[in-house]
Chain A
């Protein structure tokens, strides 16, 4: 999944070490791809950093949700858990009914390392793989999102309606708000959900 990012980073003239260390230190899918695209278009360092701050503000919400669900933790483990919190680890953990820090770290650190590994593989293999194959890898993240969401949609018409409303909202808002639309749609969607989803359709009170 990191292969798509590696493709842009290498095209932007970043060295293999820079490409992989960004995956390790920043660890933000969309944020890194945007940063690499901005390097490619010659943006200033300040513009890139500010854009990343805005795009990655959503992790505040995700980190809060994850750490609120965990019951058996301490501050050093929480700090590690915070760094490895991204859309995928957050979504998978939120939809599981587990409340253990070790379950979360297991999911999230695996995702983190495979993201770094993907960048490494991408750097090495990119020249060898045909465009068709690298493009097909781009779907893997979305396939994961769809696969996580589908059982809940199947289970509850109310969740299905909420997902549809949020998707349409984000399609419309992304025309006007650009990268802000993701976080705005997520929060507005959840606010709408307060009125259209009954409590019993939500995962029991772990979160």
Chain B
């Protein structure tokens, strides 16, 4: 097999295995309340870790571009703008920010 086929199929297999194990054994997993609380907290901490510091690398040269995007998205979410509209508006506002950056 050629190099790219090995890379793609290899990555597919090693990525699927961790996802698959819970699917096969979930019935045998019964969590006590403390473990449930721990699992309940994971979405919040995972999102926090996904955002910081990754958001600063949205543009490899201008770190503040991502920060501006994050602040815009947070502001819109605070005002209860719907999810899809937040994503689209943030992209549009960043395009606008990019078009004024050369003037500074």
- Count class of interface residues, chain A: 35 or more
Chain A residue nearest to B3 (CB atoms) is A45
Kindly list chain B residues whose C-beta atoms are within 8 Å of the C-beta of A126. none
Chain A residue nearest to B97 (CB atoms) is A136
B43 touches A91 (CB 8 A): yes
A45 touches B10 (CB 8 A): yes
B40 touches A207 (CB 8 A): yes
Whether A79 sits at the interface, judged by CB under 8 Å, is yes
Kindly list chain A residues whose C-beta atoms are within 8 Å of the C-beta of B3. 45
Q: How far is the CB of B82 from chain A (nearest CB, A)?
A: 9
Q: Give B residues with C-beta under 8 Å from A.
A: 3-4, 6-12, 14-24, 26, 29, 31, 34, 36-55, 58-59, 65-66, 69-70, 72-74, 76-78, 80, 83, 86-87, 90-92, 94-95, 98-99
Q: Give A residues with C-beta under 8 Å from B.
A: 14-15, 18, 21-22, 25-28, 31-32, 35, 39, 45-46, 48-50, 52-53, 56-65, 67-68, 75, 78-79, 81-83, 85, 87, 90-91, 94-95, 132-133, 135-140, 142-152, 154, 159, 162-164, 166-171, 174, 181-182, 185-187, 189-191, 193-194, 197, 199, 202-203, 205, 207
